[in-house]
Chain A
């Protein structure tokens, strides 16, 4: 796992973006940028250079699930690892995210250990 990979954090709440950013920093990932919803995240992703996407689900403008679907339908982004960090905990939604091609799913409120574990698991699979 490359600690210098560029990570895009998408959440409409700036406090949550700060938390995720600081947690990632603590795990050694310092190369992060932020966006406040899918609509502002998509152009950043399309420009290229993002190695990992961490996104919330419920956001105004464009939701995380729509962002995920947009990412998977773009040939340049189809293999981008995506971790969803969200308060949405209904089973049908977790299944929906899985079917849309999410790589990991963390429900809020979460712990630093959970985030670390899920990120490691995602990249373990990719590096294999």
Chain B
């Protein structure tokens, strides 16, 4: 462009010096053409840019929707996962902390009694001590019965606390699906701005089931049974 202009300008100066009016006009027209061509190219470039920007805007709105709604939603779901796992861990720890002293006590009682029992079998025990020992054995049986009941119910509580894994697993899977959607949109935006061909469509996992109810998110519309009592009421209204 610059060299073309320089070449034409030199020609124009030469024509002017020669008083060549027709030559001058022709060169001026050529200069005007040159400028016009440049302008058209520039307008073309701007139009293309505008088009691409518009396309990426529509993608951006999808990303905006994800950023505005889905990510806060996912954050709340993940908070619920944290709350559930924390609750399960605390429940389990409480039971373990309550039962450890019980098992220790059972162990030490058994050790003391077995020592005494050994002495009795070796006939080294005076009668008065034997009487005391039989009383201790009775107490130990009583304590064992009571403690084993506690251990049994504690173990059941620990068992029930593990239910979090199923619920949180399902919630996390949903968040993973969202992250996958976001990733796909980002890849599209990047492919537009760098004008690389888009990668093949990843198969998104679509699940029509609403899944576990996350309190504060899924129960807003009132179409959800918040508790087993709600389920029972609904079923009994259906004749169950």
* Nearest opposing residue in chain B for A56, CB measure: B166
B166 contacts A89, C-beta separation under 8 Å: no
A76 to B90, CA, bound (A): 46
CB distance from A93 to the nearest CB of B (A): 8
**Interface check B122, CB cutoff 8 A:** no
A114 to B231, CA, bound (A): 12
A109 to B166, CA, bound (A): 9
**Interface check B223, CB cutoff 8 A:** yes
Known: A89-B213, A94-B234, A105-B231. A19 touches B225 (CB 8 A): no
> Chain A interface: which of B23-31, B154-162, B190-198?
B154-162
A57 contacts B209, C-beta separation under 8 Å: yes
B166 contacts A26, C-beta separation under 8 Å: no
B226 contacts A89, C-beta separation under 8 Å: yes
| CB neighbours of B209 from chain A (8 A) | 57-58, 63, 88, 93
**Interface check B217, CB cutoff 8 A:** no
B238 contacts A107, C-beta separation under 8 Å: no
CB distance from A89 to the nearest CB of B (A): 5
A123 to B182, CA, bound (A): 49
Q: Interface size for chain B: under 10, 10 to 19, 20 to 34, or 35 or more residues?
A: 20 to 34
Which listed residue (A63, A87, A105, A110) contacts B212, Cβ 8 A?
A87
Known: A87-B212, A88-B209, A92-B223. A98 touches B238 (CB 8 A): yes
A19 contacts B159, C-beta separation under 8 Å: yes
| CB neighbours of A107 from chain B (8 A) | 225, 227-228, 231
| CB neighbours of A87 from chain B (8 A) | 166-167, 170, 211-213
CB distance from B152 to the nearest CB of A (A): 9
**Interface check A11, CB cutoff 8 A:** yes
**Interface check A45, CB cutoff 8 A:** no
| CB neighbours of A111 from chain B (8 A) | 160
Tell me how many residues of A have a C-beta within 8 Å of chain B.
Answer: 31
Which listed residue (B210, B212, B230, B238) contacts A108, Cβ 8 A?
B212
Within 8 A of A (CB), among B205-232: 207, 209-213, 223-228, 230-231
**Interface check B139, CB cutoff 8 A:** no
A57 to B163, CA, bound (A): 15
* Nearest opposing residue in chain B for A92, CB measure: B223
**Interface check A80, CB cutoff 8 A:** no
**Interface check B117, CB cutoff 8 A:** no
A94 to B209, CA, bound (A): 12
| CB neighbours of A47 from chain B (8 A) | none
CB distance from A87 to the nearest CB of B (A): 4
Which listed residue (A92, A93, A114) contacts B228, Cβ 8 A?
A114
B: residues with CB less than 8 A from A are 156, 159-160, 162-167, 169-170, 207, 209-213, 223-228, 230-231, 234-235, 238, 240
Contacts A/B (CB < 8 Å), 29 sampled? A13-B166, A15-B163, A15-B165, A16-B166, A18-B162, A19-B160, A23-B160, A57-B209, A87-B170, A87-B212, A88-B209, A88-B210, A89-B225, A89-B226, A89-B230, A89-B231, A90-B223, A90-B224, A91-B223, A91-B224, A93-B210, A94-B231, A98-B238, A107-B225, A107-B228, A108-B163, A109-B164, A109-B167, A110-B228
